[in-house]
A and B are shown apart, each in its own frame.
Chain A
Amino acid sequence: MRNIRAILRKELGTYFASPMAYIMAGVFLALTGVFFVNSVDQPFAEASVRGLLATSSFFLLTLVSPLLTMRLFAEEQKLGTLELLLTAPVRDYEVVVAKFLASFVMLASMALATLFYAALLAYYADPDLGPTFSAYVGFLLYGAATLAMGLLASTLSSNQIVAAVVGFGLILVFTLVDQVSNILSGTVARVLERLSLSAHFDAFNRGVIDTADIAYFLILMAVFLFLTIRSVESRRWR
C-alpha cells in the first residue's frame, strides 16, 4: 500500500501541477455545459441530469479517458524511466493500480465538478435525487472501465498519440458493440448487448442500480487492469 500511495501521490502531483490537465478539464466542462443546456433547454424538459450524463458518457468518456491515460506508461517508456520504475522495489501491480487510481481521481474530480449542473437544477426545479445519485455512480464506474482500457493502450506503445488512438478504438468498440447486436439476432446478439458499456450505464442513468451492471463494470475494469499488469510484466521477457 505504501508503494501505491507514493506512486499515486507522484502521479497526482504531475496531473494537478500540469496546466494541460486543467485545460483538458476546462474543455470537458465546457462541453458538458453545452450538453447540459441542450438537454434542458427544450419544451417538456425533465429536471434531471439524465440527458447530460447520457451524452457525456458516450462522447466525453470515449475521448477523455484515453487522453488522461495515454501519458501514464507511454511517456515513461519514451523517457526510459519505466525501466527504473520496474527495477525499483515495487511490484508491477502496484505501479498499475497507482497509475489507474491517479487517473480515476482526475476523472472523478472532473465528473464531480458537473454536480454544479445538478445544483442549478435543484435551485430552479425539483429533480429526483435518487436517479441523480445512481447516474453519477454509473458514470464513475463507466469512467473506471474506460480508464482501465486506456491504461492498457498506454503500455502498448511509447508514442502517446498511438496510445490514445488505440485506447479510443478499444473504448469505442465496447461502447458501440450493442449497435452491432441490433442487426443480429439470437444468443450472439444478446451476448454482444451484454458487452456494451452504454447498455449497462443506461439503467444507472434511469435511476436503477443493478448488481449485474455493477459487476460488469468492475469485471471489465479488473480484466483490463490484469491485462495491463501482464503487458507491463511482459517487458521483462519480451
Chain B
Amino acid sequence: MARSTQGPPTTRETGETVFATLTRLLSGRQGISAIGAVAGGLALLLGLVLLLFVPAMRGAAYSVVVLGAILLLLALMVSFSTVVKAVTGRRGRYGTNTTAMVVAFVVLGILIEVLAFRNPVRWDLTATRRFSLAPQTRDILTGLQEPVRATAFFVAGNPSQDQYRTAVEDLMKEFGRQQPKLFSFRFLDPDREVTIAKEFDIRQYPAVVFEGRDSGLRHQLIAPFFEERNFATAMLIATGRQQKRLYYLTGHGEKDLGDVAPDSREGAALLASGLGGDNYDVQVLSLAQIPLVPEDAAALIIAGPKQDLEGEESKILEQYLRGGGRVLFLLEPNPPATFSNLLFAWGIKPVEGRVVEIFNSVAGQPQTPLFSRDQYFRYPEDPSSPDPFHVDLITRPLDETYFPGTAAFQQRLPPEEMVKESVALFRLVRATVLSCISQDPEAKTCPPESLGRELVPAWALQGFAPINEKPDPAGPRKTRIVVFGDSDFVSNYHIPSKNNRDLVLNAVNWLTEDTALANIRPNPIPVRYLILAENQKQLLRALSWFVLPAGVVLLAAVAWWRRR
C-alpha cells in the first residue's frame, strides 16, 4: 500500500492509455535509442539463426548481423550517458561485478570440460567389455581421411529387428565417440523413407550402409553381420580400400556356396556372406573348366571335398602352392588322397580316423569336440621374442569353437629332420588329453590305452618351398596354408554358433595378410533376456505398478496424520 502511494503514478491512476504510454516512452532521443536497441538485438538474433540453420543464406545472414551491430552501436551512442550511468551506478557496478564473476566461472567450467573431454578415462562396466573398441578399430577411425556416414535401416516396432537395433546403435555411438568429427550415423525406417531406401538399394532389412561422403563409395551390411569387425571393414570399403578376390573350389562335392537355407549342413552361403562382410569378393572356381588358379587370387578355399582331384587338377594346385599360393583346407576325416597329398608335400599328414573327445565336447556328442581358450596354442611360445608370422591372430581373439566330426593332423617329419628355411609349421588347436582317434563313426568313448595323445585338428604353415627342398631366394612370395580337420563348422547350420565364423574368417585374414581385421576381437553379447511365464508377468506388473506407490502413499497418510 505504501508503495502505491509513494511510487510513480500508474497508468490507471493517471488515466493514460497503453498506447499513450508507449508514444511517450518512444518519443525523443531516448525513444529512438530504445527502438534502435530493440531492432539491433532482433537483427542480431535473426542473423545468428540464419547463419546457423540456413547455410544457403550465409551472405544475407552476415549483412543482417552487421546491420544489428550498427543499430546497437547507434543506440549506445545516442544514449551513451544513460548507459554509462547504468554501468557505473551502484547497481551497475554490482551488476557488472556479478556478470564478470559469472562469466569467469562459466569459462573456467568450459575449460575443465574441454580438458576432461580431451583426456577422458573410461570404465566399461559391462561383463563382457562390449563397449571397448579394439585398437585396430580405433586406428581405423582416427585415421579416417574423409567423412563417413552410416545409415541404419530398421523398421520401428519390429521385435525381430529390435534385437539388433540396440547393439547397432551402441556400436555406432562408440564409433561416433571415437571419431566425432568424421563419423556420423542415422536411423531410418525403410517403409517410411522409401526413396532413400531405393537410393541405397535396400532389398532386405535390417541393413546398415556405410558411405564415404567425399568418395561416394558405399558398403551394405545385413543382419546378422553387425559386429565390430564388420563395421570396421565396411568403413575401410567406404573409404576406398580395394577388395581382394577369393576363389572357392568346386567340382569335388564341396559345400555349396549357393545353398542359403539357414539349417543346411551342406550349404556355405553364410560363409560367403561373412567373407563379403570382410571385404572379399568370392568367386567360384572349377578347375575342370578353367585349368588354373587365376593370378588375382588372394587365396583359395577348399571346403569339404568328397571326391579326388582329377587329371591335371592336382598339378595345378601343386604349382599354385609352390608359386606362393594361399589355401584354406577344410577337410573331413579320411579325406580324398589327392588332397592329403597336397598337404603331405608341405609337411602335414592326416591321422586316420576321427577325433572322439570325452571331456570337452558339445553336449552328448563326443565326436563334436569343443575348444576353449586354453586349448588354442599361443605364439610366439616365448612372449618376449618377436613373432614374424602373426599366427596367433587366428585364434587369440576367440572364445569357444567346435568341429562336428573332425580329423586330426600330424607333422610328417620330426622337427629335427625338417629344413627350417623351407617351412614353418604351427599347431592351432588341440583336443584335451581325454580324447582319442577312432575308426568307428559312431564311437562315443575311448579305450583307456588310447588316451593322452596330443590330437591337433587345425594347423597353419608358412613356407618358401615344400619340406626339405631348398627354397629359391629369388622365388615368389611365401606360401601359406591353413588346414582344419572339419568343414561342417563353416556350414550354414554351424557357422553362426560360438566363434566358428570368426575362426574361419580369421584364418582367411591370416592367409591374405589382413591381420588388422583378424585382431578385432568379437565382443560377445551375452543373452540376458527376461523370459517370463504369464503368471510371472502378472505378478511383475502388480508389484511394479502398485506395491511401491501404495507404500509411499501410506507414508503420506502417516505424515498427514502426524501433522494433524
Residues on the A chain within 8 Å of B2, using CB: none
Residues on the B chain within 8 Å of A36, using CB: 544
Asked whether A33 lies within 8 Å of B549 as measured between CB atoms, the reply is yes
A230 at the interface (CB under 8 A from B): yes
Q: Given the interface contacts A17-B562, A29-B552, A48-B528, does A128 sit within 8 Å of B162 by beta carbon?
A: no
A183 at the interface (CB under 8 A from B): yes
Q: Given the interface contacts A17-B562, A23-B556, A37-B545, does A206 sit within 8 Å of B105 by beta carbon?
A: no
Tally of chain A residues near chain B (CB < 8 A): 70
A34 at the interface (CB under 8 A from B): yes
Q: How far is the CA of A121 from the CA of B116 in the complex (A)?
A: 35
Q: Chain B, 156-188, contact with A by CB distance < 8 Å: what is the 0/1 string?
A: 000110110010001001000100110000000
Asked whether B557 lies within 8 Å of A19 as measured between CB atoms, the reply is yes
Within 8 A of A (CB), among B477-531: 526, 528-531
Q: Chain A, 84-99, contact with B by CB distance < 8 Å: what is the 0/1 string?
A: 0000000000000000
A59 at the interface (CB under 8 A from B): no
Asked whether B125 lies within 8 Å of A134 as measured between CB atoms, the reply is yes
Residues on the A chain within 8 Å of B553, using CB: 22-23, 26
B540: which of A26, A124, A188 is its contact (CB, 8 Å)? Answer: A124
Residues on the B chain within 8 Å of A117, using CB: 544
Q: How far is the CA of A84 from the CA of B552 in the complex (A)?
A: 34
Asked whether B98 lies within 8 Å of A230 as measured between CB atoms, the reply is yes
B101 at the interface (CB under 8 A from A): yes
A208: which of B125, B162, B181 is its contact (CB, 8 Å)? Answer: B125
Mark the stretch among B31-39, B106-114, B253-261 that contacts chain A: B106-114
Residues on the A chain within 8 Å of B546, using CB: 33
Residues on the B chain within 8 Å of A124, using CB: 530, 532, 536, 540
Q: How far is the CA of A16 from the CA of B127 in the complex (A)?
A: 38
A133 at the interface (CB under 8 A from B): yes
Within 8 A of B (CB), among A163-221: 183-184, 188, 190, 194, 202-203, 206-212, 214-216, 219-220
Q: Given the interface contacts A113-B548, A128-B528, does A18 sit within 8 Å of B125 by beta carbon?
A: no
Asked whether A120 lies within 8 Å of B122 as measured between CB atoms, the reply is no
Asked whether B529 lies within 8 Å of A26 as measured between CB atoms, the reply is no
B121 at the interface (CB under 8 A from A): yes
Tell me if A's interface is mostly helix, strand, loop or mixed.
helix
Asked whether A206 lies within 8 Å of B131 as measured between CB atoms, the reply is yes
Q: Given the interface contacts A25-B552, A26-B552, A184-B53, does A208 sit within 8 Å of B112 by beta carbon?
A: no
Q: Which residue of B lies closest to A130 (CB)?
A: B125
Asked whether A194 lies within 8 Å of B117 as measured between CB atoms, the reply is yes
Mark the stretch among A38-46, A67-75, A139-147 that contacts chain B: A38-46
Q: How far is the CA of A121 from the CA of B543 in the complex (A)?
A: 12
Asked whether A237 lies within 8 Å of B91 as measured between CB atoms, the reply is yes
Asked whether B544 lies within 8 Å of A47 as measured between CB atoms, the reply is no
Q: Given the interface contacts A26-B553, A237-B94, does A41 sit within 8 Å of B548 by beta carbon?
A: no
Residues on the B chain within 8 Å of A234, using CB: 94-95, 98
Residues on the A chain within 8 Å of B112, using CB: 215, 219
What distance in Å separates the Cβ of B558 from its nearest Cβ neighbour in chain A? Answer: 8
Q: Chain A, 115-144, contact with B by CB distance < 8 Å: what is the 0/1 string?
A: 011001100111110110110000000000
Q: A22-B556, A208-B122, A210-B120 are in contact. List 4 more A-B contacts (CB 8 A).
A: A34-B544, A37-B544, A116-B547, A134-B125
Which residues of B line the A interface, CB within 8 A?
52-53, 90-91, 94-95, 98, 101-102, 105-106, 109, 112-113, 116-117, 119-127, 130-131, 159-160, 162-163, 166, 170, 173, 177, 180-181, 526, 528-532, 536-537, 540-541, 543-550, 552-553, 555-557, 559-560, 562-563
Nearest first, the 6 closest Cβ-Cβ pairs linking A and B are A130-B125, A22-B556, A215-B116, A33-B544, A26-B552, A30-B549
Provide a sorted-by-A list of 15 A–B residue pairs whose CB atoms are within 8 angstroms: A18-B563, A25-B552, A37-B540, A44-B163, A45-B529, A46-B528, A47-B528, A120-B540, A124-B532, A134-B125, A211-B120, A219-B109, A223-B105, A223-B109, A237-B90
